[in-house]
Structure 1
Amino acid sequence: MTEPRVSTHHGWELLHLTSDDLEVDVVPGKGGDVTAVRWRPLDVDVMWRTRWGLRPRGEHITAGSSEALLMQAYPGGWQTVFPNAGAPSHEHGVEWGMHGEAWLASYDWSAVDGASAGSAAVELRTDLVRSPFSIVKRVEVAGPSVTVTETVTNDGAEPVEVMWSQHPAFGAPLVGPATRIETAARTIWLDPATPAAWPNDGFDRVPAPGSGVSRLAFLADFAEGRAGIVNDELGLRADLTWDTSLMPHAWYWLEAGGRAGFPWYSAAYVLALEPATSWPDAGVAGVRSTTGTQLAIAPGESRTATVTLTLAATAP
């Protein structure tokens, strides 16, 4: 096992986990975010970064909606979405903001003993405030793969309904006009009333930057938990795998200059494929009244989800 290297950036502690194939950065103090996944053979980071990146720790935060506050703290990369996803939701006497509290929480961390040779792993822990959950998050890098394993435990004495997903956002050079999307999904929903077979209307291809396209869709009916982003011109593919028994859906989010105004101002170029328990992007309350795909967690119950990202060269 390789001990993580520790550095600082804008006052944040950064953990650097490496294998022969990958260099992965984790920010424990900001959601346990994975902010970089670099494929060493090509020296390419596949994660997307927002224009403003990781803001200095402790900077003044102006008032605003939960979306504005979340975006100000969003550096890009790979986040945990829990216990809410999409729109804010009023639950148990308090507002759960856009994409939930785990996205913004600070985690304690420790290196993991016993990881296999040539790998590196850390374990992160936090207790949420607006919901009665504790979270244990393990990030492990081994060979060409980085795996995020999370266990959430309801430490309260009441059952609680949640939404839970992983939010890895990918950017250039992996994402470009030569990129295609492969998935084991059989159905794509553009909204709760519009199902279609995958692919639909070119959703398996990525438009060029600045093409004025903005997409949000929801994938379902997976034959297996698998989705891939493939760029043969770059010679690289990124494959996500996960257990569909807990996360039977995936959100598909793409910006190619299509959303004007805050937060992207028609300039973002990003693709995210997000394994998820629930859909659509309506928050727990909205999902409860539409698809009924929210997840109920009983008092004292723990649930565990694992998502793995594997990078590989494409065939010449």
Structure 2
Amino acid sequence: MNGVSEPSVSTYRGWEIVHLTSNELGVDVVPGKGGDVTSVRWRPLDVDVMWRTRWGLRPRGEHVTAGSSEALLMQAYPGGWQTVFPNAGAPSQEHGVEWGMHGEAWLASYDWTATGPAAVELRTDLVRSPFSIVKRIEVDGPAVTVTETVRNDGAEPVEVMWSHHPAFGAPLVGPSTRVETAAQTVWLDPTTPAPWPGDGFDRVPAPGSEVSRLAFLDGFTQGRAGIVNDELGLRADLTWDTALMPHAWYWLEAGGRAGFPWYSGAYVLALEPATSWPDTGVSGVRSTTGTQVAVAPGEERTATVTLTLGPTAG
């Protein structure tokens, strides 16, 4: 042990779950599955703001059938908050190997140590790219902060995409929910810009509305995006440093995507601070927006994203 007061730990479906708590928040972390934050619960209302997939966290070690990188990623996707690195969106052929959908960090297993009763440090080494990752997760009052440092341990420069993927669900997400951001522009694709909020991107449609949205937010005056539900009396605010992540992806499903993986049944909203866009993988971004990030041999980059929950002004 490291002499630090330890967070509590439980087991679910064979996975070690680390529980970080404050008076306001209860946060669950799964070190063995991407260091995922699977639950962020606002304790005054006993409301979990994270979205959960229909299948949730699968049993550890279960048989995984063959399939595309999207199919494999989805089978391992419990919902919640993931790290997307070193690729985002579509698979990309890089340095003689395929980087799958949303990258290897999403699926990696991390070793962890407690750094306080409400803080952990997780570490992993990727295989398909030459990066090590140190991920620190800390709960402080109404806020949970994820700070990641990636290091290129190879001897050649590598271009990457990097983002955070916090997905929010009901009851925070509902027909009375509005989206607030400091973005100035919404891109539906690299040739179709509109001033924020575009065609109603600041409002959330009802479940079953047959709406599916993927857009890219740009021109941030500061790294800030919020999901606000006055009816529930709760808001969730994301803040981050735009020096490394000047963009954010906006993903919403309200019954609009038929077939795999949602079968018209998902109701979820994600606001995703990001280095790069669109969702075409590193190779596609390289040929369109040029927003991929080059990391030199031995270079470290650090990104910090904070989620703060609190009552609405009303």
Bucket of the pairwise TM-score, normalised by the shorter protein:
over 0.9
Match of 1:94 among 97, 102, 111: 97
Distance (whole Å) between structure 1 residues aligned to residue 296 and residue 312 of structure 2: 44
Distance (whole Å) between structure 2 residues aligned to residue 201 and residue 183 of structure 1: 15
Distance (whole Å) between structure 2 residues aligned to residue 45 and residue 134 of structure 1: 31
Give the partner amino acid of 1:139: I
Q: How does 1:229-248 map to 2 (within 5 A)?
A: 229-248=227-246
- Determine what percentage of the aligned residue pairs are the same residue: 86
Distance (whole Å) between structure 2 residues aligned to residue 64 and residue 190 of structure 1: 28
Structure 2 equivalent of residue 44 of structure 1 = 47
CA contact (8 A) 1:2 1:18 kept: no
CA contact (8 A) 1:24 1:37 kept: yes
Deviation at 1:3, TM superposition (A): 2.5
RMSD: 0.8
Match of 2:177 among 176, 179, 185: 179
Structure 2 equivalent of residue 134 of structure 1 = 132
TM-score normalised according to structure 2 size: 0.98
Structure 1 equivalent of residue 212 of structure 2 = 214
Deviation at 1:4, TM superposition (A): 1.0
What is the total number of aligned residue pairs between the two structures? 311
1:279 aligns with 2:277: yes
Structure 1 equivalent of residue 157 of structure 2 = 159
Residues 30-89 of structure 1, C-alpha deviations (whole Å, 9 max, x = no match): 000000000000000000000000000000000000000000000000000000000000
Structure 2 gaps, min length 5:
none
Distance (whole Å) between structure 1 residues aligned to residue 11 and residue 294 of structure 2: 38
SS in 2 for 1:80: strand
Structure 1 equivalent of residue 197 of structure 2 = 199
1:224 aligns with 2:222: yes
Match of 2:34 among 31, 36, 46: 31
Distance (whole Å) between structure 1 residues aligned to residue 312 and residue 192 of structure 2: 34
Distance (whole Å) between structure 1 residues aligned to residue 168 and residue 7 of structure 2: 23
SS in 1 for 2:215: strand
Residues 83-110 of structure 1, C-alpha deviations (whole Å, 9 max, x = no match): 0000000000000000000000000000
CA contact (8 A) 1:3 1:17 kept: no
Give the partner amino acid of 2:158: V
SS in 1 for 2:58: coil
TM-score normalised according to structure 1 size: 0.98
Distance (whole Å) between structure 1 residues aligned to residue 310 and residue 61 of structure 2: 38
Match of 1:82 among 68, 85, 93: 85
1:188 aligns with 2:186: yes
Structure 1 gaps, min length 5:
114-118
1:267 aligns with 2:265: yes
Distance (whole Å) between structure 1 residues aligned to residue 133 and residue 198 of structure 2: 36
Distance (whole Å) between structure 2 residues aligned to residue 203 and residue 137 of structure 1: 31
Deviation at 1:230, TM superposition (A): 0.1
